[in-house]
Structure 1
């Protein structure tokens, strides 16, 4: 079925997103040596991406809602791929800081664009699993990038590695422009039975609402603020895996670059499976008419994440540390399918804007993570306070989900057991 090909394309996009994103963590040592950076300066470089990514989430979501995911995704993937290549030409701290901020701003529209494509192409009863598959692509991409980028950087140097990744991204953008259409009804390769199935089972939209409900009013809804708060906590944990996990285990356990890459990839693979499991659980509970089809997977995920972070602190072997960090990332990623499904439920025609706003708050959490790890370590001489902060935020997010039960889809025009 053609919609599965579209899912495969968005899966590849998520894969590319995180290969481009995590490569700088693997390249930390040669970048620091070449540009003569401190740990705190590298923290600002990592966080500058998250800040640019966060600030452009809502505007990029509005662009997707207005111009469609075909044009927006093709454009922004080309833009950030050029900036990926440009990273290899950074000559000092300030230039690297600016490039990575702009790179983050360029990537901002990716997941809102995928969310808008999901709204148009995917039946509601498949929504959770599709979201899980897309986010698992980002985890597989990050997991592959750790050992793969370590080898690439050793073989060709960090500057050439970024240039090669930029070329791959431009290739994806061209293919998306040629193969995707914003609405299934516009696609010539889609069969009539599949087209009818999608139109009958996707969320029913009301175009008049898009014209009459101002953006400010949409973003004042308490459900949107709830989504933002819990996602801030989720990203605080996961961004550690993208930034400081690799150098943390490499330095603490005196590992070689490639060995640290393979071990650091394990928690990211666990995150991919967390996405799949949670997406399946969201859809299963939804089909059964369970009122908490979003609450249960998210709450379980946050509790697991808190537990994994706490238990990782007292591990003296790299195997034990990686095992419990894998539990933490598995749990953190369990929170993604219910979060994004919830945004589609309440956003409807403004799905790109609502999901982008939630992602903005989440990446402010990422911005804090990138700085919290090196600064807390520098102030206290230990990484333990960082993991305790992460555990507390996860428990807070679990409490938010359990307290806010208004997470059943509000537009029940699709039969529960369809």
Structure 2
């Protein structure tokens, strides 16, 4: 059987997971849009407490990345994602029922815990349904939903809050998630061969495409995989991309509003839409290069181009501080975000390549460390604006130029990291002593990451 006669159910899977990520970010960003009316209604919800509410989500989300990934690998994405989506959708809806700041902290922690399984579970589902040559475009489309969801939230959520109130807005978002969970349970199957819509040609196509790039034997322990050079470098570069990306959904809008006014701040959604386009183009490039017989370069080249563009765009942003209009900054930051978004498809495809049947847990580890980059950017951005100067780029405080240089430097280091990342590099079995040492080192790394998240989200506020 040839690919031309195979069914296309795997493409419907990618579409369903695209809607999944749209939902995740609409649920996350909703609370930012509802901040004002929530503070008016909820007892004790000061600005500092609201910062703790934002931070407690990040802690819950990071803490449960690896456990949620392991659960997805063992239980299968059908059951795992159904449970994950129901849990976070329930706590999204319950956000609309809180009346005290303490209860809001508890609900948002549990919401973060639930959402922790969203990406590892989806990555495991994509691994089971996509041949290696299609992982890039699949991941690109999948992750672009987050950018579309974030951009939509900047427009839709304020209007919805004005229409039905902030409490019912959370309930509505939770209901959407429950509907998606029901559709997922009904439609998805853990094995393509069990799906009534797939024919044998598609089943064979998927199985052959997975087997031809099965780089990690099943007898290699998880701790050895997750502490390999490939995965450690993947963690670093993913944190680097998040340092730039999370500015677009945290500080970019208020920074623009302070310097160019509230009307200009509405343009802060444009870089997110540009980022969505980058994900599609990068995913296509990953797929095309892999089909040309370049499995390693199909991951490396798009990522390195992306980080190079990210660094260039950020350095160009330093030349826009004195502009009379916001458009130069929007253009330059869009270049930067386009670049770092190009790195997502190869990053998550690499986790699928290396992790195999444990791709949920491997991608969860990468995402956990990536959240440290997100938390770091949210905290250090205002510090750089208010405190940090440097020759040529930031002669005085009050602009984000020093942060842009910092982020550009990190992007450059991440670009160099990809020179040493190879999804086909074989892993040899280690002795029990070396495994114990790696386990201890990995435990220390987790403690450091969680401590850094707690410090940046709570003690530095």
TM-score if structure 2 supplies the norm length? 0.81
- Note if 1:46 corresponds to 2:63: no
Q: How does 1:154-193 map to 2 (within 5 A)?
A: 154-193=162-201
- Note if 1:135 corresponds to 2:143: yes
Structure 2 partner of 1:287: 291
- Note if 1:264 corresponds to 2:268: yes
CA shift digits 1:168-196 (9 cap, x unpaired)? 10110011011110011111222232222
Separation of aligned partners in 2, 1:130 and 1:177: 20
Query: Residues 40 and 371 of structure 1 are in contact (CA less than 8 Å); yes or no, is this contact kept in structure 2?
Result: no
Distance 1:49 1:389, change over 3 A: farther
Separation of aligned partners in 1, 2:405 and 2:39: 28
How much has 1:143 moved relative to structure 2? 1.3
- Note if 1:382 corresponds to 2:392: no
CA shift digits 1:197-247 (9 cap, x unpaired)? 2223233698x954x433222222121111111111111211222222233
CA shift digits 1:378-413 (9 cap, x unpaired)? 6566352433332222122112113x15245769xx
Separation of aligned partners in 2, 1:386 and 1:96: 32
Query: Residues 303 and 394 of structure 1 are in contact (CA less than 8 Å); yes or no, is this contact kept in structure 2?
Result: yes
Q: How does 1:198-213 map to 2 (within 5 A)?
A: 198-203=206-211, 209-210=217-218, 212-213=219-220
- Note if 1:240 corresponds to 2:259: no
Distance 1:348 1:98, change over 3 A: same
Structure 2 partner of 1:311: 316
215, 220, 227: which one aligns with 1:220: 227
Structure 1, gaps ≥5 residues long: 412-418
Give structure 1 regions of 4+ aligned residues with deviation exceeding 6 angstroms: none
How much has 1:64 moved relative to structure 2? 0.7
Q: How does 1:395-406 map to 2 (within 5 A)?
A: 395-402=412-419, 404-406=420-422
Separation of aligned partners in 2, 1:37 and 1:327: 37
The count of aligned residue pairs is 406
CA shift digits 1:346-386 (9 cap, x unpaired)? 11121111111111111121122232234545656635243
Distance 1:26 1:311, change over 3 A: farther
How much has 1:63 moved relative to structure 2? 0.5
Separation of aligned partners in 2, 1:48 and 1:374: 20
- Note if 1:276 corresponds to 2:280: yes
- Note if 1:394 corresponds to 2:399: no
253, 259, 271: which one aligns with 2:260: 253
Structure 2, gaps ≥5 residues long: 1-7, 389-396, 428-461
Structure 1 partner of 2:155: 147
CA shift digits 1:123-163 (9 cap, x unpaired)? 11111011101011111111111111121122233222112
Separation of aligned partners in 1, 2:333 and 2:382: 18
Separation of aligned partners in 1, 2:363 and 2:126: 12
TM-score if structure 1 supplies the norm length? 0.89
- 111-120 or 366-375, larger mean C-alpha shift: 366-375
Q: How does 1:333-372 map to 2 (within 5 A)?
A: 333-372=341-380
Query: Residues 25 and 244 of structure 1 are in contact (CA less than 8 Å); yes or no, is this contact kept in structure 2?
Result: no
- 126-135 or 363-372, larger mean C-alpha shift: 363-372
Structure 2 partner of 1:98: 106
Separation of aligned partners in 1, 2:180 and 2:411: 35
How much has 1:34 moved relative to structure 2? 4.8
Distance 1:260 1:92, change over 3 A: farther
- Note if 1:123 corresponds to 2:131: yes
- 102-111 or 65-74, larger mean C-alpha shift: 102-111
